[in-house]
Amino acid sequence: MGETLIRAVDGVTLKVRAGEFVALLGSSGSGKSSVLNLIAGLDRPTSGSVVVHGSDLSQLTREELAHYRLHTVGMVFQSFNLIASMTVTENVELPMRFAEVDRGKRDGLVREALTRVGLQARMNHRPSELSGGEQQRAALARALINRPQLLLADEPTGNLDSRTGTEIMKMVCEFNQQLGMTVVMVTHERALAERYAQRLIFLADGKVVGEETTAVVAAASVQGARQ
Amino acid sequence: MKLPDLAELAMRNLRESVLRNSLTTIGISVGVASLVAMLSLGIGLQQLASRRLMKSGLFDTVVVSSRRDLRNFGHEEERNGPTPGESRILDESARQEIERMPNVLEAYPDIRFITELRYGDKPHMTMVAALPSSAKSNDAFDSMQGHFFSSDTAPEAVIQKSFAEELLGKTPKPGVDDTNVSQLAAPLLGKELTMRYARRQASQAPAAPSTADPDDEDDEDDDDDFSAAAYSVVSREQKLKIVGVADLDPESMRGPTRARVFLPLRLAESLQVMQPTDLREIARATSGQQVYSSVNVRVKNPSGVQEVESAIKKMGFNTFSILDASRSIQQFFRVLDLFLLIFGSLALAVAFVGIVNTLVMAILERRREIGIMKAIGASDGDVRKLFFAEAGAMGILGGIVGVILGWAIGQIINFVTNIYLARQSFPAEHFWSVPLWLAGFAILFSFLVSLAAGLYPAGRAARLDPVQALRYE
């Protein structure tokens, strides 16, 4: 019994500008999460290259990729991926431990990030004590904590009801607009993508099958997106 | 990741699976306790043997005799060194010279003579020897009934058990030593012995210089003071109070010349008992100084015996010590320690497997957590260090608990053994010893073994593919 080779992503070429909000759309198995993992430096392409800020991720060592994930990328996932045994504060603080941020500065930064996502009252709660929306907000705070330039969101509203999903998307949009973070979001909800992303890229069977620009424009007023 | 963060995360992770990690830590503790118990037994026995041997005076003593005494020990030296006739006399100045040597504690003359002691109206012949006050610490006197000499000049005697039996008219069965020394001592302590001896007394009238015969081998150039060697021999009596009855034989190494009655050294010197050397050296006495048949030299440390011995040999005397026996005993204990270390380590080897198992289980359980940490920026090194820190923390904790456990086991066994010894009328002993260096070594060893056990799991955790790990439910 040998391993079967599956081409999750095949001949994809796409370019994302700094400060842009791009949504990758496609059905299950289309390869959109694989593209996101390649951009996140969690996976390596067997051929081709992924270039972020001029450096080719496929050429980086494991240590360099870890450094890239720590300082350049913030990630949020459909299943939140908070560490269950840690409190909200500990979860948000964790990337700063890896980045060796001074202990004295951490408390202030954690408080600031949690205030930004509206979780200042839930700092000492464990993930299991939070609602789905609160968990995703905690995950957003954790993704923000090291001030990354790139926010990667893999189905961030997939496990949330529509009202909570909207709240989360407004926050992601706010980070893009106010902090100038580049956002690449994977979703299969076209309506949601059209509402917040500036550009939609469609994938099927590991290939890019289409691209659309939405009415949302880069540096557009957040006001517009909120309506 | 910085060390405080690493330690904090490791401790947090250990607390999360408190039961499993506690059981693993207990496993390490048992391993360390067995190691500590084994080694502390070895060290305790070694210290006990060293204490015993040191107290026996066998290993730190050099017996010095003149080559002129043809009964001496060093036949090899006799052939190589100066002939007995030409060699130096072992007199007071030689004794003082030896005593001034580095590492020498004391050098005292070996005064011993066979004489008659009267107890009641019955005479008894035996060997009498003088002991310095330092002999009090000899382990032969540990279980002595009564006490040691009250002073170095007191007219007191300590007698050996067999002589006590003789005084009381008891005849022990040959080869059976079942006499209770306290029963023997009770009727004898405080009683008086009368010792009759031959006293060497300086002659009132100076002897006329002899007409030297040039062929006489003892006739040296420096024989200018014959008057000091002129003396009379007179019979004297000395009353001695029996103050102690010794169970063991403090002179077991001396074989046929061992004494059964002991006197304080200064008292014996003041009695000026006629010694065999007095007759031998009468024709050659040069300075009027006291001449000794042999001198006992006590060295500060058994390791200094060889050096002192060779320095004394250079002075032209014969020496005797049982240093070589001491060396082979040390070698025996090194081998014993090695075996105990190996057996003690077996339990730690089992604990090693326990740590590997616990950490491999932890990887399976925390697979997703490892994936999350990697996704948010943890490097392979961070993950590896985290697992190492957990293994190391279990090692240190297990080491500390193990040392305490090992020490407690030792104390209990010591306590129980001493109860048994007390019932058998033996003095209490300390068989178990956990020196600080052993405690430190055991904790360090446990830490290193735990780190080694963490090598494989930590490497495996570090190599986990984050994408695969994140998919794991």
**Each residue of B308-338: pLDDT tens digit?**
888 888 888 888 777 656 666 777 878 888 8
Instruction: Tell me which DSSP letter residue B255 carries.
Output: G
Please, which pLDDT band fits residue B220 given cuts at 50, 70 and 90? very low
Q: What angle do CA B31, B32, B33 make, to 5 degrees?
A: 90
The rounded distance, in Å, linking the Cα atoms of B261 and A100 is 81
Nearest one of A150, A146, A142 to A117, comparing CA atoms: A142
Q: Which domain holds residue A225?
A: 11-72+149-227
Would you state the structure tokens that stand for residue B137, as one six-digit string? Answer: 């610490």
Helix segments in chain A, DSSP class H: 32-40, 62-71, 88-98, 103-116, 132-144, 162-178, 190-196, 222-226
Q: Is residue B97 part of a domain?
A: yes
Q: Which of B89-103, B139-153, B386-400 has the highest mean pLDDT?
A: B386-400
Torsion from C-alpha of A197, A201, A205, A209, nearest 10 degrees: 150
The total number of structural domains that make up chain A: 2
Q: Is residue B342 part of a domain?
A: yes
Q: Is residue A2 part of a domain?
A: no
Helix segments in B315-379, DSSP class H: 323-365, 367-375
Query: CB contact, 8 Å: A95 with chain B?
Result: yes
Mean pLDDT, to the nearest integer, of B19-35?
89
Of A155-169, B52-66, B327-341, B448-462, give the lowest mean pLDDT range.
B52-66
pLDDT of residue B325: 60
Query: CB contact, 8 Å: B469 with chain A?
Result: no
Q: Is residue A5 part of a domain?
A: no
Would you state the structure tokens that stand for residue B66, as one six-digit string? Answer: 């003149």
Of B12-26, B45-59, B153-167, B279-293, give the lowest mean pLDDT range.
B279-293
Q: Is residue B334 part of a domain?
A: yes
Asked if residues B259 and B60 have their Cβ atoms less than 8 Å apart, the reply is no
Asked if residues B160 and B249 have their Cβ atoms less than 8 Å apart, the reply is yes
Query: Cβ–Cβ contacts within 10 Å for residue B41, how many?
Result: 21
The rounded distance, in Å, linking the Cα atoms of B90 and B93 is 8
Q: Is the pLDDT of residue A74 over 90?
A: yes
Q: Which chain B residues are Cβ-neighbours of A69 within 8 angstroms?
A: 374-377
**Each residue of A89-104: pLDDT tens digit?**
999 999 999 999 999 9
Please, which pLDDT band fits residue A11 given cuts at 50, 70 and 90? confident
Nearest one of B67, B58, B60, B57 to B89, comparing CA atoms: B67
- Beta-carbon contacts below 8 Å between A and B: 70
Q: Which chain B residues are Cβ-neighbours of A83 within 8 angstroms?
A: 369, 372-373
- Both A154 and A68 in one domain: the answer is yes
**Each residue of B378-391: pLDDT tens digit?**
999 999 999 999 99
The total number of structural domains that make up chain B: 2
CB contact under 8 A, A42 and B466: yes
Would you state the structure tokens that stand for residue B71, as one six-digit string? Answer: 């009964």
- Both A121 and A35 in one domain: the answer is no
Would you state the structure tokens that stand for residue B148, as one six-digit string? Answer: 């040691």
Q: Which domain holds residue B345?
A: 3-54+329-471
ipTM for the assembly: 0.90
Model-level pTM? 0.65
pLDDT of residue B75: 54
First-last CA distance in chain B: 27
CA distance A224 to chain B (A): 32
Q: Mutating which of A39, A46, A61, A81 best tests the B interface, going by the most B Cβ atoms within 10 A?
A: A81
Distances (CA, A) of B117 to B238, B240, B465: 9, 9, 96
pLDDT of residue A38: 92
- Both A161 and A204 in one domain: the answer is yes
pLDDT of residue A1: 47
Query: CB contact, 8 Å: A214 with chain B?
Result: no
Whose structure tokens read 């080719």? A56
* CATH classification of the domain holding A60: 3.40.50.300
Q: Mutating which of B373, B376, B385 best tests the A interface, going by the most A Cβ atoms within 10 A?
A: B376
Length of chain B: 473
Q: Is residue B145 part of a domain?
A: yes
The domain boundary, picked from B322, B354, B378, lies at B322
